[in-house]
Each structure stands twice: as structure tokens, then as C-alpha cells.
Amino acid sequence: MSSAHSTPKTGDRVLSGMRPTGALHLGHYHGALRNWVRLQEQLECFYFVADWHALTTHYESREVIESNVWEMVIDWLAAGIDPARATVFLQSRLPEHAELFTLLAMGTPLGWLERVPTYKDQQEKLSDKDLSTYGFLGYPLLQAADILIYRAAWVPVGEDQVPHVELTREVARRFNHLYGREPGFEEKATDAARRLGGKAAKRYAELRTRWQQQGDAQALAEARALVDAGASLSAADRDRLAGWLEGGQRTVLVEPQALLTEASRLPGMDGQKMSKSYGNAIAMREAPESVTKKIRTMPTDPARVRRTDPGEPTRCPVFQLHHVYSDKATQDWAAAGCRSAGIGCLECKQPVIDAVLAEQAPFHERAQPYLDAPRLLRDIVDAGCDRARAVAQETMREVRDAVGLSYR
């Protein structure tokens, strides 16, 4: 059941990842990282670099991955990710992810992966690459393994990733259905029902059918009461009979929910979505002179050819930046001054420049220690990998056991 209305509660586990694309820009900050920082205050957060995922599309360019990884982790810390609160780690240091991926792959129908919208979309978009590979098809299943191995309740992602979280839920459900039963469960449950005694056993069977076939909640409640009252039952039998009412499966893997980040849609310098590949981005840690120059040369409403020509802010990408960076009063000042030609475009841009530089100052400050001593960064990631591994190994012990692989 998708519980779209529930919200995270203290102690819930959060997991998210990013492919290492190198230095992040302000769109990444406003679209994702700012939210990650906020979440770490109340929830148990795991954030990782999805370096294997980068290889699904860039398997030929191994030389770029390494520097992209460290640049990106510095940006996370620059944004305010606190390694004392959040666990920061690298996917490729945890072969457990690959092990779970392999086991999930056994029972995942091909069609589930072929139908994921990003599969065909990306193949078309990145048509210069050959993406008819096994690894690329498996991309969302690897993502499912990333999420399920931490039993994460919440996955903060953008809209485009929601189908991947949905697939993850289906995969978890299927896994629990296939493997979440103790061997011989049906027989053991049938025996336990018999031990309820003649009339009660018959009644239990009727109520179970009514609940399972008609969803009659009354029947479920009565059946549970019957089990509780079964004085002659062992605790294990009682558990089996209670479990049998629900279909008899154990939750080995937890179904996660997407935690949608409101699209911040920070526009780039040309008014399109900010993106490295459009060449319209400002890096999180870009030098102030460069930021100033980029904004000063940003295109504005084409109607404002001369300083005396009035303009229309809704046709101007600078005004979109005011929406993100300026308070109401400044926005009103810009809009009125634009329409009356009371201010010039450079004047209008100055508060935006100031606000962006003010936002970036702490990024530079927080990043500096890691630029000075890269060892610090490595230590944070090493410690994060250790913490992640402890959780991943615990899940894998249960998974192997459920699949029937714990023989010695």
C-alpha cells in the first residue's frame, strides 16, 4: 500500500545517492543538497556516491570518476552535510550492494526493467553512447539494492527518480513474497491451527478466508482474539497463526517511500534549467569574480535594448533568480523598476549577485580544510563506509538466510 500521506518521524532511516558528476552547481544545492542537510537534523541519514551507477553510462571514461568523486564529496560537506550526523560513503567500497543486486536479479522479470521510463529515455538522450548493455538495463535494480540493503524508510529524490523508488517497492514485495516464509510454514501453520481444537480450528479457518478474500476487518479481529485465547498453543504456534492471517510472510526487505524534494527549478544563466551540460551553471564553489561576471552578462528581457526602454520581469531570467534569492520587498522593487525603466539591468542584478555570493561564502569556508588536507576527506569517507558496512552486512545475513544460502 502506498501511504502517500505519511511523513518521516524521528529515527526513520533516510538514504540517498548521487552519481559522481564532479563539482556540483547551485541547482544541485537548491534541488537536493539543501534538503539532505535539513533531513540530517532529525533522521538517520545515509548519503553515498553512486560510482557504479556512473559506470553504467560512462564505462569508457574511468579516468574521470576518481576526481569527480572527491570533488562531489567536498561539495556535500561544503553544503553542510555533517559527518557526525550523516553517514557518507562510496557504493563501490561495499560489495554487499552487488551481492544483493545479484540475488534480486534472480527473481526480477525483465519487463519490469524494460518498462522503467528512464531506460528508453536515456538511451535516446545519450544516443552517442551504446547503452544497450546489461549494466544499464540493471541500473534501477542496482538502485533498489542500494536502498533495500539499508532498510531505508525514505528516499529523498527528485520527480525523475520516483519510478525507481516504485520499482524498489515492487522488488521488495516480491522478495518478501518469495523468501519471507520459514521452510514448511504452511504445514506448521496447519498443525498449529489443528492444535486450536475442533470448533476453534474450524472457526479460525472460516475467519481467515473471510479476511483474505473479502478483506473483512471484523473477521481479522475475531481471528486474532481466537489465537490469543488459544491456551494450549506455544508462542511459536501463536506467531504462526497470527502471521498466517496476513499471508504468512516475514518482512525481510522494507518497502521505502520517495520523499519528493519540491522542484526548486533554479534557472541557469539563460533561464533554462541549470545544468552542467547546458553550460548555464554556477558551481557551488565558483570564484566570486566569475559568479559576478556570469550574472552581470546574463541575458535579460530582450525588450530592454536601451536603459530607457521599460521591460517585463516575467520575460527575464534574472527575475527568476530574484524569486529564489530575494525577499518580497526586493522583488517588488525590481519588478516596478523594470516596468517603469526606473532601474537599469545591472542595478537590478546587484542584489542577486550579493545574495549568491553570500550563500556561497560558507561553502568556500567549509570546503577549505579538505582542500588543504585531503586526508581529512578520506578519513570521513572511510568511517562512513565502516558504518554503512555494519548495516549492510546485517541485512545480507538475513537475506542469505531467507534465500536459503546460509549452509556451511
Residues at the interface with ligand TRP (CB under 6 A)? 15-19, 50, 53, 143, 146-147, 155, 157, 161
d(CA 293, CA 23): 19
Decide if residue 304 touches ligand SF4 (CB under 6 A). yes
Q: Which of 108, 300, 326, 395 binds ligand SF4 (CB under 6 A)?
A: 300
The partner in contact with residue 101, picked from ligand SF4, ligand TRP, none with C-beta cut-offs of 5 to 8 angstroms by kind, is none
Residue 46 Cβ vs ligand SF4, minimum distance, rounded to whole Å: 42
Q: Which of 14, 32, 94, 338 lies at the binding interface for ligand SF4 (CB under 6 A)?
A: 338
Please pick, from the candidates 37, 171, 295, 345, the single residue that binds ligand SF4 as defined by CB under 6 A.
Answer: 345
CA–CA separation, 9 and 12 (whole Å): 6
Choice between 249 and 300, CB closer to ligand SF4: 300
Q: Which option in ligand TRP, ligand SF4, none does residue 44 bind, with CB closer than 5 to 8 A by kind?
A: none
For residue 53, the partner it binds in ligand SF4, ligand TRP, none, with Cβ less than 5 to 8 A by kind, is ligand TRP
Nearest alpha-carbon partner for 73 in 30, 111, 24? 24
Give the binding range for ligand SF4 (CB under 6 A) out of 143-151, 267-275, 342-350, 387-395. 342-350
Nearer to ligand TRP, 83 or 138 (CB): 138
16 binds, among ligand TRP, ligand SF4, none (CB under 5 to 8 A by kind): ligand TRP
* Cβ partners under 8 Å of residue 311, min gap 6: 300, 301, 303, 304, 338, 339, 341, 345
3-class secondary-structure state, position 47: strand
DSSP-assigned states of every residue in 78-103? HHT--TTTSEEEEGGG-HHHHHHHHH
> Which amino acid, one-letter code, is at 10?
T
Work out the burial of residue 123: count CB atoms within 10 Å of its CB; fewer than 13 is exposed, 13-18 middle, 19 or more buried.
middle
- Say how far apart CA 255 and CA 171 lie, in whole Å: 9
Half-sphere exposure of 245 (CA within 13 A, CB side): 25
109 vs 302, which CB is nearer to ligand SF4? Answer: 302
Q: Alpha carbon of 293 to those of 23, 254, 289, 297: distances in Å?
A: 19, 49, 6, 6
338 binds, options ligand TRP, ligand SF4, none, Cβ within 5 to 8 A by partner type = ligand SF4
Which does residue 65 touch among ligand SF4, ligand TRP, none (CB within 5 to 8 A, set by kind)? none
By CB under 6 A, is residue 352 in contact with ligand SF4?
Answer: no
Residues from 308 through 327 that contact ligand SF4 (CB under 6 A): 311, 313, 316, 318-319
Does residue 150 contact residue 13 with C-beta atoms inside 8 Å?
yes
Q: How many residues are present in the chain?
A: 408
Q: How far apart are the first and last CA of the chain?
A: 38
Q: Which of ligand SF4, ligand TRP, none interacts with 301 (beta carbon under 5 to 8 A by kind)?
A: ligand SF4
In angstroms, what is the minimal distance from the CB of 160 to ligand TRP?
8
> Total number of residues binding ligand SF4 (CB under 6 A)?
14
Evaluate whether 56 touches 133 at the Cβ level (below 8 Å): yes
**Matching residue, cell 489465537:** 227
311 binds, among ligand TRP, ligand SF4, none (CB under 5 to 8 A by kind): ligand SF4
Q: Which of 348, 377, 381, 402 binds ligand SF4 (CB under 6 A)?
A: 348
Q: Which is nearer to ligand SF4, 21 or 330 (CB)?
A: 330
Count the helices and strands in the chain (H runs, E runs).
Answer: 19, 5
Give the shortest CB-302-to-ligand SF4 separation in angstroms: 9
Residues 6 or more apart whose Cβ sits within 8 Å of residue 296: 346, 349, 353
Binding residues for ligand SF4 (CB under 6 A): 300-301, 304, 311, 313, 316, 318-319, 334, 338, 343, 345, 348-349
